[in-house]
Chain A
């Protein structure tokens, strides 16, 4: 593993600039996600990652964080078309340099006595936490920057058996920065 990635509150941002983060408040109604996915598919916009959860105001709204590939279409087009979906209530566009982004990674790694030490090193370096362990495997969790998650994912590639899941990122503007509506 190369340089130590900064754990948790790190600011290294490995997101290529062409990625843009759209934080989309939607009505929490059946089929809303299909409407968004369908729109992206038929207009040829690429989604890099997508995270959905109920928004602060309870059951009525959900927040969808979409990382879009702004090279597949101009961001103005993507936002303009998205805004026409009747169930989309508000869109804020956070440019990558102004964004605080976090993502959750969970991975279960098969280990043996030979490589357990190196795994523990990787976990410590990444600032990840061990959340489950038995004689043959370790499950680790990292809540970090997408770049930090990338680095951990790469570091774990040397292990033969890894089951790894990532949530896709959520984001807020950095303090003092604003999202454009």
Chain B
């Protein structure tokens, strides 16, 4: 090669040194009317009540909330209150294989299945160690604010021992 071009003459292509937390790795959904048709679920939660949809045609109760009834394909759904007290049906504590965004001080965290009567849902069980819990323990719902990574006000639910 007779050409004398060297590395320092090469053009540089730069990419940002930090990439914003990607939207697709944010576990919490956007919750407002311009984003989701189940915003009423989140509005109710923000106001302090866990609710879900009930079909006014066939009376089926759904969880997660829907916009179409999977039992009868009707779309006349109303929001009904769910109990905030329930029983622990199953639980574990996560020590390995942690998803993104969990803070160090949260590990190990307890995640369980809570039977609220009309529905059975998964949830974080706060303020409890795995070894202190038993199947059948009473737990209560609490509502938490989600801090970041978007500017929106977001809420979610968790449980704690009674």
Whether chain B is bound by chain A comes out as no
